[in-house]
Structure 1
Amino acid sequence: MQAYLTTTALAVLLVLGAPAYAQTDDVLPGASVESLLNLAKSQNPELASMRFEAQAARERVVPAGALMDPKFRVEWMDVTKGGTQAPALWPGDVGSTKYTLMQDLPWFGKRDLKQSMAQQDAQAVEGKALSTWAELAAKVKISHAQRYFFHHTQQLTQELLALTNRLAALAQQRYASGLVMQQDAIRAQVEQTALQTELVALAGEARQADARLNALLARPSNASLAEPLSLRPIPVAREPEALMARVRQSNPQLFSEQARLQSAELSRELTHKNRYPDFTLAITPTQVQSGINEWGVMLELNIPLQQGTRRAQEREAQAMLEAAQKRREAVTNQLWSDLSENLSGLDAAQRTEQLTKTSLLPQAELTFQSALASYENGKLDFATLLEAQRQVRQARQSQLKAQLDAQMRLAEIEKLLGEE
């Protein structure tokens, strides 16, 4: 599973590093979620920053397991030859010249542990980059759903305004004929003004949604966007246990926490190996005049006598490991809670939409048609007709809000899954 997660992480990061899609002047993004996600993937600066951080973390793996650079030392012995000459530094002019080539060597297994820790740290950063993409994708999906909601709410309000205009004309005609009081015409005008005011507010909210989306795409806030054509389909099968299994397998945050946990385990093991000494090996040829006639070999090691310090470091490593375990456990519990909450919210939103579509909306429309006919025949007052119209409006708005809520819940679930 670990290899699968690593391969998946690297594959996604390579995709994130792909060049930006060419955008012509004739095609605007925004009609579908896919076009927006492609732009966000290639242009968002925060995502690009995390991609470079992940690359930098991967480049730290090789140096972590490498040996330290060797050291070279030169010692000039008896530079005055017993006081018979002025000080000299040329090897043939001194009593002897000693060369030392040294290489530091850590205790067996320490290099492998350091390299493995660097690999786990790199995977943690890769998981953070994937988490950044999951968060960004969720924001883009939610912004698209909000734009769809505002666009269709504006269309609904404009349709209702046109209907109200016809009702106002009808009320004015009946008032002119002396069939109703002037109050009906005034109520119609008040309703017209209210709808016009709502259109202004919706236009402002739509512009704000466009600005938020453009910010995610690294575009100017006033850049044009295409009208949202459709919402994404909602998956039918969504068993909580099966989804949680997918969360455990592919959630970027959990992936990072697992990598940090393994890094903490390796750190504890490395701390225990610090009980053993590190070495320095050296070869020391000695030159006398023009020839080398002596060779020496040196072994140096540090003596781990500071046991109190090392025991404190070991306790620290153990505490960090336990902290990583608890942190992963806390993340898992939070993911389960978030998944359950969003699944419940998604189910409620879909039930609300279905009830509105199949029951509430048809009943409201039927009530309005009946009220309109009764008003034309003088059997109903205008206030009741307006109330019937508001019920139709509320039902259609309720359907749009349920669709928006379902899309937002779906985006949050996909963020938890780390995949579509």
Structure 2
Amino acid sequence: MRGNFRTKVFILMLALGIATPILSQEVAIGRTVDSLLDYARSTNPDYASMRYEADAAIERVVPAGALPDPRFRMELQDITKFGEQNATLNPSRVGSTKYTVLQEIPWYGKRDLKREIAELEAEGAQGRVRGTWTEITAKLKIAHAQLYILHRNEQLTREILDLMVRLEKIAQIRYAGGLAMQQDAIRAQVEQTGMRNDLIMLENEGNMLRARINALLARPSSARLANPEVLRPIPAPAKLDYATLEDRVRGRNPQLFTEEARIKAAEKSRELTYKNRYPDFALAISPIQYQNAVKEWEVMVEFNIPLQQTSRRAMERESESMLSAARSRKEATSNQILGELAENLSGIEAARRTESLTTNSLLPQAELTFNSALASYENGKVDFATLLEAQQQIRKARQIQIKAQAEAQIRLAEIEKLLGEDL
């Protein structure tokens, strides 16, 4: 009995030892944005579906350039032998049996063009895979930054709430000594109630963000996520030069890559359409059996006659229009993307300057003002409203700082989405 008990305890400890790393790994998801991206790479269904579609497009390349399957035909001629016998399907008893093997052969170059079109469509599918992944990464980066900001705002609100509790105690002490009005303590309590309401709203926003992140990770909406620990560093201004990033965008953006593949595919489709001016062939060979022996051979060449010129010219004009549309679509996409790049670069620079100004100037000034107001209130030189206003200036400055950090992270994520890669 004692041995069995020890065995059960050992098994339980082993199970707990195995479960603990798994649990810690699950909880660790969300501490950094890289942990979210690594998880999403293997679980996000949109990304997986696009990869499968790209794999399917690759598999279409070989069939596109292959010859059509040959056809076999058997003809039983004179199955009654001029009425001398009952109808039969036995090749040795009919008048003759003709066996035909036929192979269709497209005009020279058509198979190569079809294969090249399929290859370009496969490249476009790869571009769509990259585009889907950049969309997912941008959403996760933005959501992670927003969750970090909410966490920081929650910490700030709790700090200010603790401060208001201390201010309430100071106001009560001064009221008890006849040095202040009871209204000061009541105003402090009102401020605390407002902050507790802010905490409820922040908690709700955090829950919605976690549900959004879990949806991108294909996890249950209530699955636990760790609180974000740090934000990604913002690149130095030298790395955010518009001219340099413009060249990178033109060469790496998934949308532009896909549109370029569409243009090349449209050009090949136009060439293929013009190739349809020339006929396709069919070659056939036919041994003819009489009774039990093959005594004749036939060879056949067949080709279509491209006489429907009106229809063919319409298809050629269609291919030209489709090529022009693909080129215009790429130009429009390029203009939109470069416009977004300039907009986000301006936004990230403004956020950087705002954060710097707030950190180095506004926040220290607000803290000095509050400390001075607090000392003056304790000495009875200013009223409680002045003290509250000074406290609110600190809170406002920190919120501006946090908002600037969030704006910079969002702009960075948008820029990296346009680049198709991390900076």
Give the TM-score band, short-chain normalised. Answer: over 0.9
Paired position in structure 2 for 1:256: 258
Which amino acid in the other structure matches residue 340 of structure 1?
Answer: A
SS in 2 for 1:135: helix
Distance (whole Å) between structure 1 residues aligned to residue 113 and residue 282 of structure 2? 19
Structure 1 stretches (4+) deviating beyond 3 angstroms? none
Residues 255-294 of structure 1: per-residue CA shift (max 9 Å, x gap): 1101111111011000000000000000011111221121
Residues 103-141 of structure 1: per-residue CA shift (max 9 Å, x gap): 001100001101111111111122111111100000000
Paired position in structure 2 for 1:169: 169
Distance (whole Å) between structure 2 residues aligned to residue 398 and residue 83 of structure 1? 103
Which amino acid in the other structure matches residue 229 of structure 2?
Answer: L
Which amino acid in the other structure matches residue 24 of structure 1?
Answer: I
Distance (whole Å) between structure 1 residues aligned to residue 95 and residue 38 of structure 2? 74
Distance (whole Å) between structure 1 residues aligned to residue 75 and residue 197 of structure 2? 91
Paired position in structure 2 for 1:129: 129
Paired position in structure 1 for 2:287: 285
Paired position in structure 2 for 1:143: 143
Q: CA deviation at 1:39?
A: 0.9
Paired position in structure 2 for 1:26: 24
C-alpha RMSD over aligned residues: 1.1
Paired position in structure 1 for 2:321: 319
SS in 1 for 2:24: coil
Residues 53-88 of structure 1: per-residue CA shift (max 9 Å, x gap): 111111111111111110111111222222222222
Q: CA deviation at 1:162?
A: 0.4
Which amino acid in the other structure matches residue 289 of structure 2?
Answer: Q
Paired position in structure 1 for 2:12: none
Which amino acid in the other structure matches residue 82 of structure 2?
Answer: G
Q: Does 1:194 align with 2:194?
A: yes
Distance (whole Å) between structure 1 residues aligned to residue 377 and residue 347 of structure 2? 41
Paired position in structure 1 for 2:235: 235
Distance (whole Å) between structure 1 residues aligned to residue 138 and residue 76 of structure 2? 69
Unaligned runs of 5+ in 1: 1-21
Paired position in structure 2 for 1:69: 69
The share of aligned pairs that are identical, in percent, is 60
Paired position in structure 2 for 1:44: 44
TM-score (norm 1): 0.94
Which amino acid in the other structure matches residue 336 of structure 1?
Answer: L
Unaligned runs of 5+ in 2: 1-19
Which amino acid in the other structure matches residue 43 of structure 1?
Answer: T
Distance (whole Å) between structure 2 residues aligned to residue 103 and residue 70 of structure 1? 5
Distance (whole Å) between structure 1 residues aligned to residue 322 and residue 415 of structure 2? 31
Distance (whole Å) between structure 2 residues aligned to residue 367 and residue 143 of structure 1? 35
Which amino acid in the other structure matches residue 24 of structure 2?
Answer: D
Q: Does 1:348 align with 2:350?
A: yes
Distance (whole Å) between structure 1 residues aligned to residue 418 and residue 261 of structure 2? 18
Distance (whole Å) between structure 2 residues aligned to residue 290 and residue 207 of structure 1? 84
SS in 1 for 2:23: coil
Distance (whole Å) between structure 2 residues aligned to residue 30 and residue 265 of structure 1? 46
Which amino acid in the other structure matches residue 302 of structure 1?
Answer: N
Residues 1-60 of structure 1: per-residue CA shift (max 9 Å, x gap): xxxxxxxxxxxxxxxxxxxxx981112200001100011111111111111111111111
Distance (whole Å) between structure 2 residues aligned to residue 375 and residue 341 of structure 1? 47
Distance (whole Å) between structure 1 residues aligned to residue 373 and residue 384 of structure 2? 9
Q: CA deviation at 1:146?
A: 0.7
Paired position in structure 2 for 1:185: 185
Q: Among residues 331, 342, 366, which one is paired with 1:329 in the alignment?
A: 331
Would you say how many aligned residue pairs link Structure 1 and Structure 2?
A: 399
Distance (whole Å) between structure 1 residues aligned to residue 220 and residue 64 of structure 2? 42
Q: Among residues 259, 266, 269, which one is paired with 2:268 in the alignment?
A: 266
SS in 1 for 2:83: coil
SS in 1 for 2:22: coil
Paired position in structure 1 for 2:3: none
Distance (whole Å) between structure 1 residues aligned to residue 205 and residue 169 of structure 2? 30
SS in 2 for 1:91: coil
